[in-house]
Structure 1
């Protein structure tokens, strides 16, 4: 490929995808290999202001030092701003317990982002090309990463741009051969130690042998999938704004009926809840479940629960909420709300607010305990002569699974005084002649609502 043609394509690609402005300072990540040296040579032929960054991971002994010296000398001879970092990648692997590729990538990107800020660059460019994109797509396909994984390597994201994505490896080789661009060979790239190398050396050649042009066809598919994903993303963003209620890191809720009216609703739900760690299968299952089922699914950090017309998401608790002691004349902070107990003169009329209850002044002489209700809990509902299980009370009131989990009970010893916000006990009711009463006030947390 002629250099002039390559430069024109690079410029057109940048304009089409708006990777960087005419006067933006770009930091080129240059390893010294063929791809990055080709990128450097092309940028030299433009008016774009740029600098070069090289990280020496000290993984290949003298070869690593040779590559660093090669890039540094190249830049110094041409007056190109040059930045270098020398790190002990293996030591970092041991400290963080991460693999080689992940550790190297984290070190590289952290340092490059630091340079952007400190040296006033607008973006840093890596030399990923079309073949890298095909390899990434195949890796993600094998791993089962879903639609987004099939969109390949992002052209730009978080200060990173990939201007060489307009070339494939053969075109880059043609440019370096035609212009006699010097570069360093990394012997590790010829080994099959990593999945990417095995795909590059064996799978892709076999695919192109079976079906000539397979790589280009996959690259075309990546572009189409990327466009479809962006459309789905736009729908999801709109859905997030219109269907969700108070979604944040802790959780929130999603309007079920409105979500079901959207095509491919399980994918939209996945996009909305992806940050909470849920899978496509879980999203599909919850949308196919009966509204009244109260079915729930767990990720490593959150729970997603079907609550009639809502899909509720909340952070998983690693431990059951501990019981909380409370004395007369005090307040107690509990999960889902606050309880206050005060002794007052008997009012002429009791409040009808479900979160306010009145009990006999002889109750709670040794204080009380607030805890989560449990299977088998039984009490004597106010106005009834017999006892009833708390679970039956909640079922009769048609409480959803999510609502049931929020219910707390107030105990006097082993006896239930109040199923908080729902029903007091006949055994602790205010009787005729009592001049004072204990007033119980429950204040639900704003993000949970009344239970």
Structure 2
């Protein structure tokens, strides 16, 4: 196994040379064997151990074992202790999920801080088989059948070509000691059920099951790459990036694809939209339909879908900003007031000229609230801002991103769109103020 590991590491992970590496070490046989393999191959590393305090004295003894192992191997070790049960209760998650989140949050923080470049974990071929079966039993697409990825961002798994039996044999041949977690023998967890009850039957039916599984994963990976290439090509046909950072999807072009709903689902999945039922009904939904993901929002606006970050729509929604005479506001938009010094009375969507006598400083910049009314320039009667948005065909994103310039409680300007008739220049105006968006 040592020579196979050395060759595999050289062929697949040569880029890890001269990098700062962490190895996640529980004290179990898999992670301990990975440490020995790296030490024998003269691959420098630091050990990282999590003590979740879930198994009383056993958790303490695991930590002591890992610290002694680090001394035997002559490497540094980092230890992090967690109050896992409190975290699980506070975040309303299971103990397993809590432990996973705690350890990977810690690992990621070590990488983000720049102390380490990559984390090596000891996941092996049998782990990948179990993941495949779990996903298969729950229902999944091709990606869910690919097992555990060899590389995922900063996480590298160099043992995925080796079976649990090979790892056990290596440990026995080299008199390697490790810690046994008694919970691994329990079948109350789904993964353990597959490990103890299902996988042995599959290996009994086909003694070459592990090798067959590797071939299957390779074939599925090739198929998945073909699908990704097709999705990327379809995305280039139907999607248009906008200057404001949003993305427009052309519905008519999507409908020309061989499987519109499937393509739409795959194109939206990277943005966090995974509710299949919501997405498949989008093509027939009425204009104005909105669906949400954690970071993004998707709006159907007549003949297009508009995708935009939720954070951009929601930040500062309730905040109010003030603009003093002769000053420039830099945030949330860049806008300034300055005296008008003559010349043509030229205005555009970024500029208005108003009667200074009608203004009461500081001017207020805020978002639209239900019930707002103004007198659109050139008209006599008041109009609801919401009705103005509708008549001007503002989509939901445009409404959310539009700011109002106000003098006390009266709207002076729907910024970038329409000013109020009451603040226009008259024959009696003596001083003119120019208000201008500066970007």
SS of 2:193's equivalent in the other structure is helix
Contact in 2 for aligned 1:10/1:166 (Cα 8 Å): no
Contact in 2 for aligned 1:50/1:81 (Cα 8 Å): no
Q: Where does 1:265-276 land on structure 2 (aligned, <5 Å)?
A: 265-267=263-265, 269-270=267-268, 272-274=270-272
Residue 288 (structure 1) shift: 2.4
Find out whether 1:297 has 2:297 as its counterpart.
no
Contact in 2 for aligned 1:246/1:252 (Cα 8 Å): yes
Residue 313 (structure 1) shift: 0.9
Q: CA distance change for structure 1 residues 241 and 61 in 2, over 3 Å: closer, same or farther?
A: same
Contact in 2 for aligned 1:354/1:421 (Cα 8 Å): yes
Residue 360 (structure 1) shift: 3.5
State the distance in 1 between where 2:180 and 2:371 align. Answer: 71
Contact in 2 for aligned 1:36/1:127 (Cα 8 Å): yes
SS of 2:348's equivalent in the other structure is coil
Q: Where does 1:160-179 land on structure 2 (aligned, <5 Å)?
A: 160-176=155-171
Q: CA distance change for structure 1 residues 283 and 59 in 2, over 3 Å: closer, same or farther?
A: closer
Contact in 1 for aligned 2:31/2:121 (Cα 8 Å): yes
For structure 1, which runs of at least 5 residues remain unmatched after alignment?
Answer: 1-5, 447-451
Residue 110 (structure 1) shift: 7.2
Q: What per-residue deviation string (whole Å, max 9, x for no partner) do you get for residues 6-33 of structure 1?
A: 3343344334433666888976555443
Find out whether 1:256 has 2:249 as its counterpart.
yes
**Which of 73, 82, 100 is residue 80 of structure 1 equivalent to?**
73
TM-score w.r.t. the length of structure 2 is: 0.72
SS of 2:359's equivalent in the other structure is coil
Find out whether 1:360 has 2:360 as its counterpart.
no
State the distance in 1 between where 2:361 and 2:70 align. Answer: 80
Find out whether 1:317 has 2:314 as its counterpart.
yes
State the distance in 1 between where 2:320 and 2:24 align. Answer: 56
Residue 155 (structure 1) shift: 1.7
Q: CA distance change for structure 1 residues 246 and 212 in 2, over 3 Å: closer, same or farther?
A: farther
Q: CA distance change for structure 1 residues 326 and 157 in 2, over 3 Å: closer, same or farther?
A: closer
State the distance in 1 between where 2:105 and 2:190 align. Answer: 24
Q: What per-residue deviation string (whole Å, max 9, x for no partner) do you get for residues 321-345 of structure 1?
A: 344455654555674x344444546
SS of 1:188's equivalent in the other structure is helix
Q: Where does 1:277-296 land on structure 2 (aligned, <5 Å)?
A: 278-279=273-274, 281=276, 284=279, 288=283, 293-296=287-290
2:49 is matched with 55
1:10 is matched with 5
Q: CA distance change for structure 1 residues 421 and 25 in 2, over 3 Å: closer, same or farther?
A: closer
Residue 254 (structure 1) shift: 1.9
For structure 2, which runs of at least 5 residues remain unmatched after alignment?
Answer: none
Q: CA distance change for structure 1 residues 173 and 401 in 2, over 3 Å: closer, same or farther?
A: same
Cα RMSD (Å): 4.9
SS of 2:299's equivalent in the other structure is strand
Find out whether 1:135 has 2:130 as its counterpart.
yes
Q: What per-residue deviation string (whole Å, max 9, x for no partner) do you get for residues 216-251 of structure 1?
A: 66554444444445566677789999967489xxx8
State the distance in 2 between where 1:422 and 1:185 align. Answer: 69
Q: Give the number of the structure whose alpha-carbon radius of gyration is greater.
A: 1
State the distance in 2 between where 1:252 and 1:178 align. Answer: 58
Residue 132 (structure 1) shift: 0.8
Q: What per-residue deviation string (whole Å, max 9, x for no partner) do you get for residues 283-326 of structure 1?
A: 84597267x93443223444333456573413142674344455
Equivalent pairs, count = 426
1:441 is matched with 435
Q: CA distance change for structure 1 residues 8 and 384 in 2, over 3 Å: closer, same or farther?
A: same
Q: CA distance change for structure 1 residues 355 and 67 in 2, over 3 Å: closer, same or farther?
A: closer
Contact in 2 for aligned 1:25/1:48 (Cα 8 Å): no
Q: What per-residue deviation string (whole Å, max 9, x for no partner) do you get for residues 361-384 of structure 1?
A: 431257654443445544433333
Contact in 1 for aligned 2:49/2:66 (Cα 8 Å): no
Contact in 2 for aligned 1:360/1:429 (Cα 8 Å): yes
TM-score w.r.t. the length of structure 1 is: 0.70
Q: CA distance change for structure 1 residues 421 and 413 in 2, over 3 Å: closer, same or farther?
A: same
Q: CA distance change for structure 1 residues 85 and 438 in 2, over 3 Å: closer, same or farther?
A: same
State the distance in 2 between where 1:230 and 1:443 align. Answer: 46
SS of 1:252's equivalent in the other structure is coil
